């Protein structure tokens, strides 16, 4: 008779339409994620197309994208909530593919940089809108399934990016790495018009903190400029150091501005959460090291081992492909022991991978013996650190701050990417590269990985202990 008195719990099912929404949104996210690695793979090819331009000029096509993305991503979610997620998603996708076409058709590096900035704005609009549409389509009880699949899409795009991008560049030229986005994006817009349903989040008012965004853009841009021009004969070292210091000063000027402005770009009070603060600081240092490492791989394969574009991309893919299963496994472990053990272990493994590349490979190509072991170690370490930093950053925040907290974390990583690319260009963007030129980049990689490990020690998200620490 006991069974008759038990409460019946209905089984919540996921409607087929929810997966259709997921598929449409994933197309756009896959396209944008894939495109983020294109310039890493095709840097030398693009530079050769513009013989009157310098590597430091072309680096702004990469850093400009990241700087604008970092500054605009935080308010972009609010724009989608207010004006309609479907509408902003389709607008962002249209802007992204239009700018992609402009990238491929650019007659100079200057116009490529301009097109990349608009491409970044499109990515900022479509990314949070896409995630909001997906979450809105799934039942609350099944959203963790959607989030897991969503993370896998981004990770898979990052893993396939080097190989696919390199192959496209080898077959059709670097322009087609951008042109390929056009038919994909048009398919996405066509399907969006049929499948997606409009949704909004009512807001009484919404003001864009333009001053806060410009502080971030100008400050990070000044730091990047000072780094990439450090070896230029056109600038004195003291002048460049002054520009870098000025960049940091502009970024720090956001603190009094945020206290004065009733609606700042983001609330400084979020950083009172110790886990949030240290996860974001660790996110910056790890992103710098990751960007240096990823960029240097392409320079090594093409300039030291002299592989063609397709082989260079294929040689790098095993590392990113290792990230996906490691990230899935680490997600299960985190729920039992918290983020700190994985973050510290992963950071030390990342430092060891830098030490491997510093000491083992030489000018004679032996991929299986000298490169693959370090690459697999590298992929495992990234799989342990990157997703754990994202989830740790918002772990202790109230639900109302999840979206902005996640956006800040992604923005911090973009800032780290800008600095990392600038450092890699400073040391490696030269015509005749030698093995000795890679030594400083790997030493910086190791140092930043160890710094990341130290910054992760205060992070406390253990299921049994974190509540006591608050």
**Tens-digit pLDDT profile for residues 194-223:** 888 887 666 556 677 889 889 999 999 999
Confidence check: pLDDT of 357 > 70: yes
pLDDT for position 440: 95
Give the separation between CA 74 and CA 266, rounded to whole angstroms. 7
Give the separation between CA 181 and CA 96, rounded to whole angstroms. 8
Tokens at 36, concatenated: 């983020």
Give the rounded percent of residues in the chain with a pLDDT score beyond 70.
Answer: 91
Q: Which one is predicted more confidently, 323 or 284?
A: 284
CB-based contacts of 318: which residues, under 8 Å, 6+ apart?
A: 372, 375, 376, 379
**Which of 402, 417, 409, 414 is closest to 387 using CA atoms?**
409
pLDDT for position 469: 46
Token match 């979206």: residue?
A: 403
Give the separation between CA 162 and CA 39, rounded to whole angstroms. 10
Confidence check: pLDDT of 87 > 80: yes
Q: Where are the beta strands (DSSP E) in 376-430?
A: none
pLDDT for position 235: 87
Burial of 367 (0-12, 13-18, 19+ CB in 10 A): middle
pLDDT for position 6: 52
Confidence check: pLDDT of 328 > 90: no
- The mean pLDDT value of the chain amounts to 86
Q: Rg (Cα) of the chain, in Å, rounded?
A: 22
- Long-range CB pairs of 104-107 (<8 Å, 24+ gap) are 104/174, 104/175, 104/176, 104/177, 104/178, 104/179, 105/175
Start-to-end C-alpha separation, the chain: 45
Tokens at 189, concatenated: 């817009």
Give the separation between CA 408 and CA 430, rounded to whole angstroms. 34
Average pLDDT, integer, range 274-300:
93
Confidence check: pLDDT of 356 > 90: yes
Is residue 206 within 8 A of residue 83, CB to CB? The reply is: no
Is residue 26 within 8 A of residue 49, CB to CB? The reply is: no
DSSP string, 24-93: HHHHHHHHHHHHTTHHHHHHHHHHHH-TTS-HHHHHHHHHHHHHHHHHHHHHHHHHHHHH-HHHHHHHHH
Give the rounded percent of residues in the chain with a pLDDT score beyond 90.
Answer: 43
Give the separation between CA 375 and CA 417, rounded to whole angstroms. 20
Tokens at 10, concatenated: 């209905």
Token match 């099912």: residue?
A: 13
Confidence check: pLDDT of 10 > 80: no
Token match 């192959």: residue?
A: 167
Is residue 254 within 8 A of residue 215, CB to CB? The reply is: yes
**Taking the model in full, what pTM does it have?**
0.86
Give the separation between CA 288 and CA 416, rounded to whole angstroms. 5
**Which of 247, 180, 174 is closest to 216 using CA atoms?**
247
Q: Give the tens place of pLDDT for each residue, 456-465.
A: 999 988 766 5
Q: Which one is predicted more confidently, 316 or 352?
A: 352
- Cα-based distances in Å from 437 to 255, 307, 424: 38, 18, 10
- Cα-based distances in Å from 75 to 32, 81, 127, 209, 253: 19, 10, 12, 8, 19
**Which of 90, 81, 76 is closest to 205 using CA atoms?**
81
DSSP state of 139: -
Q: Give the tens place of pLDDT for each residue, 49-69.
A: 998 888 888 889 888 998 998
Q: Give the tens place of pLDDT for each residue, 378-426.
A: 999 998 998 888 888 877 777 667 767 877 888 898 899 999 999 999 9
CB-based contacts of 208: which residues, under 8 Å, 6+ apart?
A: 75
- Cα-based distances in Å from 325 to 7, 222, 363: 38, 38, 32
């Amino acid at each position: 008779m006991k069974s008759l008195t038990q409460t019946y719990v209905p089984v919540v099912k996921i409607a087929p339409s929810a997966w259709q929404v997921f598929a449409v949104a994933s197309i756009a996210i896959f396209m944008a994620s894939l495109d983020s690695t294109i310039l890493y793979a095709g840097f030398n090819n693009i530079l050769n197309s513009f013989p009157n331009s310098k590597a430091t000029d072309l680096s702004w096509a990469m850093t400009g994208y990241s700087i604008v993305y970092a500054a605009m991503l935080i308010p972009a979610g609010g724009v989608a909530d207010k004006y309609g997620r479907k509408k902003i998603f389709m607008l962002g996708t249209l802007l992204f593919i239009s700018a992609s076409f402009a990238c491929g058709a650019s007659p100079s590096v200057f116009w490529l940089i301009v097109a990349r900035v608009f491409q970044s704005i499109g990515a900022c609009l479509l990314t949070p809108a896409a995630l909001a549409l997906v979450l809105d389509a799934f039942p609350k009880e099944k959203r963790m399934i959607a989030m897991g699949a969503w993370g896998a899409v981004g990770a898979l795009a990052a893993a396939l990016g080097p190989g696919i991008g390199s192959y496209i560049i080898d077959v059709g030229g670097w322009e087609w790495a951008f042109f390929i986005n056009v038919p994909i994006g048009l398919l996405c817009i066509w399907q969006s018009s049929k499948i997606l349903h409009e949704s909004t989040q009512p807001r009484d008012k919404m003001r864009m903190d333009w001053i806060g965004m410009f502080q971030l853009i100008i400050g990070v841009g000044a730091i990047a400029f000072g780094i990439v021009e450090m070896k230029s004969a056109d600038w004195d070292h003291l002048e460049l150091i002054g520009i870098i210091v000025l960049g940091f000063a502009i970024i720090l000027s956001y603190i009094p501005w945020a206290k004065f402005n009733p609606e700042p770009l983001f609330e400084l009070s979020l950083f009172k959460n110790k886990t949030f603060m240290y996860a974001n600081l660790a996110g910056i240092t790890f992103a710098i090291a990751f960007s240096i490492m990823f960029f240097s791989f392409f320079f090594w394969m093409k300039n030291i081992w002299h592989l063609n574009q397709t082989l260079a991309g294929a040689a790098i893919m095993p590392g990113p492909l290792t990230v996906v299963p490691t990230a899935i496994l680490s997600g299960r472990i985190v729920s039992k022991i918290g983020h700190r053990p994985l973050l510290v272990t992963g950071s030390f493994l990342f430092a060891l991978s830098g030490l491997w590349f510093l000491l083992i490979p030489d000018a004679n190509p032996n991929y299986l013996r000298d490169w693959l072991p370090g690459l697999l170690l590298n992929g495992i370490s990234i799989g342990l650190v990157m997703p754990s930093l994202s989830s740790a950053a918002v772990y202790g925040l109230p639900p109302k701050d999840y979206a902005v907290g996640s956006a800040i974390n992604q923005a911090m990583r973009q800032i780290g990417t800008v600095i990392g690319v600038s450092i890699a260009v400073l040391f490696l963007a030269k015509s005749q590269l030698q093995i000795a030129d890679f030594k400083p980049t790997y030493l910086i990689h190791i140092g930043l990985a160890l710094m990341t490990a130290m910054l992760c020690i205060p992070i406390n998200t253990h299921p049994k202990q974190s509540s006591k620490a608050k």
